[in-house]
Every structure is written in structure tokens, then in C-alpha cells.
Amino acid sequence: MADNSYTAKDIQVLEGLEPVRKRPGMYIGSTDINGLHELVKEIIDNSVDEALAGFAKNVWIVIGKDEKVTVADDGRGIPVEIHPKAKKSTLEVTMTILHAGGKFGEGAYKISGGLHGVGASVVNALSDWMRVEVRRDNKTYAQEYKRGKPQTKVEPTPKTAAPEFLTLPPTGTTTMFIPDKSIFPTIVTDYKVIAKKIKERAYLVAGLFFHLYDERTGLEVHYYFDGGLKSLVHHINKGKQAINDIPFSVTKTSQDIFVEAAFQYSDSYTETIESFANVIATAEGGTHLTGFRMALTRAINDYARKNGYLKEKDDNLTGEDMREGLTAVVAIKMNSENLQFEGQTKSKLGNAEVQPVVMQVVKEGIDTYLEENPQQARKIMEKVILAAKARLAARAAKEAVLRKGALEGMTLPGKLTDCQEKDPAQSELYLVEGDSAGGSAKQGRDRKFQAILPLRGKILNTERARLDKILEFEEIKTLIIALGTGIGDTTNIDKARYHRVVIMTDADVDGEHIMTLLLTFFFRYLPGIIEKGYLYIAMPPLYKVTIGKESNYAYNDEEKDSIVKQKGDGKTVGIQRYKGLGEMNPEQLWETTMNPETRIMKKVEVEDAAEADHVFTMLMGNEVPPRKRFIQTHAKNATLDI
Ligand code: 0RA
């Protein structure tokens, strides 16, 4: 075999699996559906590691009718020989000892068993039944477990328990498990979630095939990306108009760090950058991302000077100018033992040595790309220089806005009815559609901690406008000043004056449109408000059901029907459908929608930034055909308000 450096003794023997069953949350985060999917991901990542080590080429995943999950690969197969210290098969050690994991060979990068991965033994501990089959030396070795405890020896077997329709190659590992119902409230995995996870992996491990089958529904999907990061950039830019239609990409190993980067500009105004370290998403960025940004800024400035796009007297283009419309992905792989993660969610790469390496590889790559593709270079230069001009215009506009605020003695906008509370953590800001509902809200609110900002009519569609244009728009200016965060390059979410911003619109088409416009604005220009969990949607009732002398509010049709069914027998039932907030008097509005004791609110969260990005581009952007397609596909899910 190619890899002789691995021996069974490299496996660290630590402890048994009891702690995992006692406190599963410590190992997989939670025992809800997310924890359940963590199990599947864990096992898949072991196979992905075998692919990263250069051996597995395929990963098969089957979700069975009985919720049995099968993950198979065509790697080398987990070693089965006797582990010298444990005096048991290495396979058994791997599956039954916490933190036991083998090295995947020198210089290889593994994603499981590191900071995020917990290893197959944790999955075993939390499975009612598990079976691992190792195909090696023209034999199939198998071992079965129950709640982490071996039920059989590791021994060659003529039979396989893998789904019959899979034809698996002579070497590899097949892991099958049924999550433990006594630990997980549900063991029903979600096909879509698994599909998404493997799709992400596929983009990052070019050349690896993923095959997913769902025996419950007959669905199947296969992922394979030859182009690696280029495919991911292409995918993110779907529905947008490309500026450089040939995306940039580079891959190079330097000083034992494998660097991969790709970018493409589109006609949008916002930036999407994703970064990864050893296939782990680094949501907070880090040294690899900094290196990339420095390289991009320097390469573009160098080219702009050399080719007369910038004159001697002109200032350099800034990092900010590079961002507009940029879609980029940066990924590094290095020895996982040296990886350092920092930041609030430990998703920021901290390795200082990575920055200069990425910087150099990407700078050289972009220099070459621009020299070899003058057409593409010209388009990029024009886009970036336009952004620089817009930046200067936006700065002037913003300064004017801020100056105006200062001249008015730092006063808050007159339209805002503020609350008495000064502690942001206790304060709420209601964004209310229309002056009349605004009036009711002002009277109905608790003035101690609830502030009201009425918004008149439609706000600007910020998806299609640039910051300087956005700032010319009165409603948005007012909103930004009321929030206190600022906007653009000087946004400071920590200055938010309210930790609950509640959008309250009518339950009709116009109300939903205003809701979408506001969500677009927050998503594109103040994403920090959403990330911090500050943004909410008020849920006013849809009906008032009056039976005899008693009135009840219903927030949806089922609720209305059930109230009528429960209480309405033989009595006169009055049903009032609220068309707008204005139909409620201040007391009713307080009682149903604003009183923290009784109200219902939806918290706005972004589960999948790339997907949300698509949806906003599609619904709010310039291109019509993708919007049409989206509407045609989703029309059946829409409720019509006629
Ligand atoms: C340790 C060493 C070797 C392979 C593996 C682990 C391995 C683990 C998993 C888990 C899922 N699929 C896997 N495939 C391989 C290499 C042993 C050798 O040198 O033959």
C-alpha cells in the first residue's frame, strides 16, 4: 500500500463511550434534528477524509425505509489488524473508544477528528444499532454494535448488510447505523439537509463523486464537481449577470499549505465571499481571507497603474472598491493538527503563517490572469473604478446625512416616537406600515421600552440601488438614524439603539411587499442586525372570532376553525377578518401584537446565506427570467390574497 507510515499504534487510546450517552449534547451540540444530521455528517466526513488523503473516489449514502443510514466509500478500508496496545482489532478500537482516530498519512488533511469532528465512535454510542463492513484483502470484515457495545468480533463474513442495489468496489468502508430513539426525539433524517451538506463538500473536494439515495421516497441525487471552487462561484452567481465571464481561479501548494481561490464579478452591488479551512466553513473569515483581500487589492492596483486605468495623481483603489459585485471563494488545506480557530464561534482561521502564503499565491495568480485575459481585465477595471467613484459619491452623501443630523443637535428623526428606556437590550423598535397604524401603535405601545417608527408607503428596493441612491431616500435615512448603527463602511452594530427591531405590516399583498423590501434592506445593508438576532416580524391576528359575549383572536385559519368547532356549537358566531392593522384599536393592537406576554413574533434568521442570496437576487434583482421561473415553481406554495 502507498501509505506505510500508518500503524495501529498511532491511535490514541483514551476512554469508553459512557460519557457520550450521558451527555450527547457535549459531543454533537444537541439531540434535536440538527444533532441527528450531525451523526450523518460525521460518518460522511470520515469518507471525505479518505478522499482528501487521495484514496476514496466515491461516497454512497443511502437513507433506508427504516431510517437506517448507510455510508460507503471506496477508500482503503479501516485497518482491521490487532491494535498492539488495546489487543483488539483497530476497527473495534476506532468504533468504541472516544477520540480514537488514525492518522491519514503524512501531509494529509483531515476534517474529522479535528476541532469539529467527533469521530465515528460518538455516532456508534448514539446508535441503537451499527454495523461496519471493511472491504480489504479481497475479504469483507464486519462488526456489529448496539448502543456502542460490540455484539460480534471483527471477522470476515460472506454476507453484506449494505443495500442490495449498491455494487461496491473491492476496497473501502461501509458504515450502517440506526440512531437511538431513546436519545433522539426523531430519527427521521431530512433528505434535503443531507443533500445540501454533501453538495457543499463536493464543491470543495473536486473529483469526488457523491451519490445520495432516499429509499423512503425513491429520490436520488449525484454530485461531482470537476471545477472545484470555480463551480461554487458559478453556482453562487446563478441568476446574476457576470462581468468577467471567465472566472479567475488558482490552485497551488506553497510551504505545505494548499491554496485554492476563485472569483467572478457580477453586476450586483454586494459582496459574497466564502472561505474554508480543510473543508470547514470559516464564517468569520481569518488569515486566509485577509491574504486573499490583500492580493486582490494589490493586483488590481498594479494592473490599473501599469495599464493607465489609474493616473499618477490618482489615489489607489481601496479594498472597499474591490467588494462591489464580488463573488469569491478561498479555501486552504493544511495539516489539521496545526489548524487554529478563533473568534466568537471558533470559525475564524487564526494561523498567521497562512496570510502571506495565500497573499503570494493569489497575487501571482491574479497578475497572470489579468495579463492573459485583457478583455476580462478591462471589464473588471471598469467595474472597480465605477465602484470607487460611487464610494466617493456615497461618502459625500453619507457625510451630508450625518452632518444634517449633527446640525439638528443630534436629534433623532421627528417621525420616530422613541421609548424612555436607554438600554438597547431592553428596547424595541416597531417599524409600522402607514401613518394610521402607526398612530394606533403609538397609543397602544408601552412607552417605557417600545419605540414606533411609521413608514409611509413603499420603501426603495435596495437590491437594485447603490448606497448613495439609497441614502437619498428619506424613509431609509430615517430608519438608519433611528437604529443608530450607521451604514456602509462605518456600520457599527454594537451601536444599535434597540435589540429588537420588529417589522409590523398588514397581512395583505402590499404589507408583504413592504416586508420583503425591508428584509432586503436588512439582508443587504445591515446583515449584522439579522446575525445578532435583532430582527423580528410581528404576527397580528388574522381573525377575531366572537361567540356570544366572548371574543378570541385567531392567528391562522386552523386556529379560527378550531375555536369555532370548540365553542361555537349552537351559538351565533361572528368572524371578523382583519385586513389591516388600522382596523384594530390601540388596545387590541397592544393585546394581540405588541404585549410581550401575549404576542407572537417570528425571529428572522438566515439559515443558508448563499441560498438567501439567490432568492433575494431572484426576487428583487434586475433579471426577469429567473424571477419568472421562481414564481412558476413556487406558485403552488403561495397564498393568494384576492
Ligand atoms: C486509518 C488508516 C487507514 C484508513 C483509514 C483510517 C480509513 C478510515 C475510514 C473511515 C471511513 N472510511 C475510511 N477509510 C479509511 C489506512 C490504512 C492502510 O494503510 O491501509
506 annotated active-site? yes
Mean pLDDT, residues 515-536 = 92
Catalytic residue among 256, 435, 472, 508: 508
Judge contact between 603 and 536, C-beta under 8 A. Answer: yes
Q: Among residues of the chain, what percentage have pLDDT more than 90?
A: 57
Position 91 scores a pLDDT of 95
Catalytic residue among 421, 433, 468, 475: 433
Distance of CA 261 to the CA centre of its chain: 19
The pTM for the full model equals 0.67
In three-state secondary structure terms, 450 is: strand
314 annotated active-site? no
Q: Which one-letter DSSP state was computed for residue 593?
A: I
Which residue among 11, 50, 52, 89 has the greatest number of ligand 1 atoms within 8 angstroms of its CB, and so is best to mutate?
50
Q: Exposed (0-12), middle (13-18) or buried (19+): which is 599, by Cβ within 10 Å?
A: middle
Checking if the pLDDT of 210 tops 80, the result is yes
Mean pLDDT, residues 384-395 = 87
Closest CA to 543 of 527, 529, 522, 557: 557
Q: Is 96 in the pocket of ligand 1 (CB under 6 A)?
A: no
Structure confidence at residue 371 as a pLDDT band (50, 70, 90): very high
Mean pLDDT, residues 453-461 = 82
- Give the number of other Cβ atoms within 10 Å of residue 150's Cβ: 18
Q: Is 103 in the pocket of ligand 1 (CB under 6 A)?
A: no
Which grid coordinates belong to 204? 470543495
Question: For atom 9 of ligand 1, which residue has the closest CA?
Answer: 78
52: CA distance to ligand 1 center in Å?
11
- What mean pLDDT value characterizes the chain? 87
Position 3 scores a pLDDT of 42
Mean pLDDT, residues 189-206 = 91
The stretches of 408-448 forming alpha helices (DSSP H) are 435-444
80: CA distance to ligand 1 center in Å?
10
Does residue 245 or residue 612 have the better pLDDT?
Answer: 245
Which residue among 1, 4, 6 has the greatest number of ligand 1 atoms within 8 angstroms of its CB, and so is best to mutate?
6
102: CA distance to ligand 1 center in Å?
7
pLDDT tens digits for range 553-606: 998 888 899 988 888 787 888 898 888 888 888 999 999 999 999 898 999 988
Q: Is 173 in the pocket of ligand 1 (CB under 6 A)?
A: yes
Position 11 scores a pLDDT of 46
Structure confidence at residue 614 as a pLDDT band (50, 70, 90): confident
Structure confidence at residue 404 as a pLDDT band (50, 70, 90): low
67 annotated active-site? no
Checking if the pLDDT of 367 tops 80, the result is yes
Position 420 scores a pLDDT of 94
pLDDT tens digits for range 145-195: 999 999 999 999 999 999 999 999 999 999 999 999 999 999 999 999 999
Cα gap 554→574, rounded to integer Å: 13
Q: Is 3 in the pocket of ligand 1 (CB under 6 A)?
A: yes
Does residue 109 or residue 580 have the better pLDDT?
Answer: 580
DSSP states of 540-581:
--SEEEEETTEEEEESSHHHHHHHHHHH-TTS-EEEEE--SG
Q: Is 303 in the pocket of ligand 1 (CB under 6 A)?
A: no
Structure confidence at residue 508 as a pLDDT band (50, 70, 90): confident
* Residue 157 CB partners (closer than 8 Å, separation 6+): 133, 140, 141, 142
Checking if the pLDDT of 99 tops 70, the result is no
Which residue among 11, 78, 176 has the greatest number of ligand 1 atoms within 8 angstroms of its CB, and so is best to mutate?
78
Checking if the pLDDT of 353 tops 90, the result is yes
45 annotated active-site? no
Mean pLDDT, residues 530-537 = 94
Checking if the pLDDT of 541 tops 60, the result is yes
Structure confidence at residue 6 as a pLDDT band (50, 70, 90): very low
